[in-house]
Chains A and B, each alone.
Chain A
Amino acid sequence: MTRNIVVKVLCVALLGLLAACGSKRGDRTLIQNKGSDTLVNVAQAWAEAYAKKKPGVAVAVTGGGSGTGIAALINGTVDIANASRKMKQKEIDLAKSKGIEPKEWVVGYDALAVYIHKDNPKNQYTLKELADIYGDGGPTTSWNDLGVKIPGCGSAEIVRFSRQNNSGTYAYFRKTVLGKGDFKLGSMDLHGSKDVVDAVEKTPCAIGYSGLAYATEHVQLADVARDANGPYVTPTVNSAVDGSYPIARPLLMYTNGEPTGATKEYLDWILSAEGQAIIKRKGYAPVK
């Protein structure tokens, strides 16, 4: 009978589910880790290495952006929030009103690189030039304004790649390069650090910003100077650590109050020589 088969299939499925529910949970401790897209790869690398070191502890990593991680910390749904920007006072107040005491940990530094197409001859920019390109009211809209001719870029219009507004990369670039100003309208806002680099690779007229760790050999990294007199500094792990590269930022993790138990051990391990070797291997600067 047809019906019997259907009933049997349903029963088997239900039994499987019940068995799964009732199965003995190991002595596994789960650490929830969520936030910054900039940090998501290194967070993954840490989680993967830590799983081998401490099989009893598992770290679940989710991205979504610094804002997503901070919101989750405020809602109490994560143990560690990753952020590539500092929490705003408003967010801290909101957290405190919900009984969450955000505690900040600097786990590394990131040079925010300015990416340009491989064929772009202009590979040195001052912060002022970047602000003129990206900032609201900035006069630079065409590569002709900068006296640059890029092969394959017909209209010479500068194609600006930016990030979505809950990204820590977006917030940090805005604060450091644009100061109090806002972004000029008409940029293409992408949803991932890697997306920006990929887009610049394919667009001769493009300029974009993203973490140094996402550099590939298919794009150019521009040297950046604080002002017209200053030296143009190439973004590297070293220039991020010694502070000579002007757009380098701390990478942060937030916990609710002083962490205890597995979360504390995990953070201690991240800040140990072993954890810091991993962040360096991923192209970020370790904590001094």
Chain B
Amino acid sequence: MFAATELNNGNRRTQTLIKVLLLTMTLLLIVPVLIILTMLIVKGGPVLSFEFLFSDPKDEMTAGGIFPALMGTVWLVSVALLASVPLGVAAAIYLSEYAGDNWFTRTINLAIINLAGVPSIVHALFGVGAFVLFFKFGTSILAASLTLAVMTLPVVIVATRESLQAVPQAFREACWNMGATRWQTIRRVVLPNSISGILTGVILEVSRTAGETAPIMFTGAVIFMPFLPEGVGDQTMAMSLHLYAMATQVPLPEHATNLPYGVALVLIGMVLAMNAVSIGFRVWLRGKKKW
């Protein structure tokens, strides 16, 4: 039969070597995640309790819970979503379904890509200049959330546009041939078939929004406020800033050194929970996909 030549053996060895090497690299990627999660769970786990989640911080953050910060983050994320999702999805629909391939569209695309590359601290300063001072929203949830919304718009636009473009062109053509208008096609065919991709964009946005510190620390988040926000004009505490303040500003006594780990664990848990809900929704929707 075929005896393996020296060349074959050499090739096989290289093959194995490369495979092992690439696998090692891949595993190395997971290591930081594992270390972070392990540390958070080991150090932060014992801190977690019903009381920690649902009570106010006490004794200058060295005791008590994180409820105002938790609620603050929910406020910030929700208002940011309300602003950026309709805007982002509308822009993506225009770019994907209506815009032709000309210099105007290309300029818009370039602007979106650049917007995604702007560092968050620059967005923060833009937020101060535009929303806090120029539009006179003051330092408030509204200003902070709008800053977050501007920052995460590219994520929504790009994810939405890509999922719209993943809908086969034949679907649209079939629809047009039945006499449907462009908008009817979008509403009845394109959007229902791309909703799961749009949700992915929203998931990514939620994760990023909840964790950002820079854009909110000048525009609406405070280190300490002894009450819950009641409207978008109020300032608020937030999880990410709470963690930052605890880690850099507050001298924590021996018995409280694990508190920041608890805050970090809750923050990660929140994002994972929100993601899980959206992912579940996605899977369910994908099950209904017709192709």
Q: Which residues of A contact B (CB under 8 A)?
A: 2-3, 6, 13-14, 16-17, 20-21, 23, 25-26, 28, 32, 37, 40-41, 43-45, 47-48, 51, 58-64, 75, 77, 191-195, 197, 213-214, 216, 282
Contact partner, A41, options B230, B231, B250, Cβ 8 Å: B250
- Bound-state CA distance A58–B192 (Å) is 47
Contact partner, B227, options A28, A43, A63, A213, Cβ 8 Å: A28
Q: Which residues of B contact A (CB under 8 A)?
A: 58-61, 78-79, 81-82, 132-133, 138-139, 187, 191-192, 195, 217-218, 221-227, 230-232, 235, 245, 248-251, 285, 288
Interface centre among A40, A44, A58, A214 (most CB of B within 10 A): A44
- Bound-state CA distance A191–B221 (Å) is 18
Are A17 and B225 neighbours in the complex by a CB distance under 8 Å? no
- Bound-state CA distance A48–B61 (Å) is 10
Contact partner, B231, options A21, A37, A193, Cβ 8 Å: A21
Are B230 and A45 neighbours in the complex by a CB distance under 8 Å? no
Interface centre among B82, B195, B223 (most CB of A within 10 A): B223
Q: Which residue in chain A gives the minimum CB-CB distance to B142?
A: A21
- Bound-state CA distance A37–B247 (Å) is 13
Are B231 and A58 neighbours in the complex by a CB distance under 8 Å? no
Residues of chain B within 8 A (CB-CB) of A59 are: 225-226
- Bound-state CA distance A262–B288 (Å) is 59
- Bound-state CA distance A135–B241 (Å) is 34
- Shortest CB distance B143–A (Å): 11
Contact partner, A51, options B60, B217, B227, B248, Cβ 8 Å: B227
- Bound-state CA distance A6–B285 (Å) is 11
Are A51 and B226 neighbours in the complex by a CB distance under 8 Å? yes
Are B132 and A213 neighbours in the complex by a CB distance under 8 Å? no
Residues of chain B within 8 A (CB-CB) of A44 are: 60-61, 223-224
If A48-B60, A62-B223, A63-B249 are given as contacts, then 6 extra A-B residue pairs at C-beta distance below 8 Å, sorted by A number, are A20-B232, A23-B231, A37-B249, A47-B224, A58-B226, A64-B217
- Bound-state CA distance A16–B245 (Å) is 30
Residues of chain A within 8 A (CB-CB) of B82 are: 13-14, 17
Known contacts A47-B224, A62-B222; decide if A194 and B191 are in contact (CB<8 Å): no
Residues of chain B within 8 A (CB-CB) of A3 are: 187, 191-192
Residues of chain B within 8 A (CB-CB) of A60 are: 222, 224-225, 235
- Bound-state CA distance A51–B59 (Å) is 13
Residues of chain B within 8 A (CB-CB) of A77 are: 132, 138-139
- Shortest CB distance B180–A (Å): 16
Are A75 and B133 neighbours in the complex by a CB distance under 8 Å? yes
Are A48 and B133 neighbours in the complex by a CB distance under 8 Å? no
Q: Which residue in chain A gives the minimum CB-CB distance to B79?
A: A17
Known contacts A44-B223, A75-B133; decide if A17 and B232 are in contact (CB<8 Å): yes
Are A213 and B251 neighbours in the complex by a CB distance under 8 Å? yes
Q: Show 19 A/B contacts (Cβ-Cβ < 8 Å), sorted by A.
A: A6-B195, A13-B81, A17-B232, A37-B249, A40-B223, A40-B249, A41-B249, A41-B251, A43-B224, A45-B59, A45-B60, A47-B226, A48-B224, A61-B222, A61-B225, A63-B223, A75-B133, A191-B248, A194-B251
Residues of chain B within 8 A (CB-CB) of A25 are: 230-231
Are A21 and B232 neighbours in the complex by a CB distance under 8 Å? yes
- Bound-state CA distance A216–B254 (Å) is 10
Are B249 and A20 neighbours in the complex by a CB distance under 8 Å? no
- Shortest CB distance A171–B (Å): 18
- Bound-state CA distance A249–B81 (Å) is 46
Q: Which residue in chain A gives the minimum CB-CB distance to B245?
A: A63
- Bound-state CA distance A20–B251 (Å) is 35
Are A192 and B249 neighbours in the complex by a CB distance under 8 Å? yes
Q: Which residue in chain B gives the minimum CB-CB distance to A78?
A: B139
Residues of chain B within 8 A (CB-CB) of A58 are: 225-227
- Bound-state CA distance A194–B223 (Å) is 15
- Shortest CB distance B203–A (Å): 14
- Bound-state CA distance A255–B227 (Å) is 23
- Bound-state CA distance A23–B251 (Å) is 37
Residues of chain B within 8 A (CB-CB) of A6 are: 195
Residues of chain A within 8 A (CB-CB) of B195 are: 2, 6
Are A20 and B230 neighbours in the complex by a CB distance under 8 Å? yes
Counting from the closest, the 9 A-B pairs by CB-CB distance are A51-B226, A192-B248, A61-B224, A60-B225, A44-B224, A60-B222, A62-B222, A44-B60, A45-B60
Residues of chain B within 8 A (CB-CB) of A21 are: 231-232
- Shortest CB distance B163–A (Å): 14
Residues of chain B within 8 A (CB-CB) of A216 are: 251
- Bound-state CA distance A96–B221 (Å) is 28
- Bound-state CA distance A214–B250 (Å) is 8
Q: Which residue in chain B gives the minimum CB-CB distance to A197?
A: B251
Are A2 and B138 neighbours in the complex by a CB distance under 8 Å? no
Residues of chain A within 8 A (CB-CB) of B250 are: 41, 194
Are B230 and A26 neighbours in the complex by a CB distance under 8 Å? yes
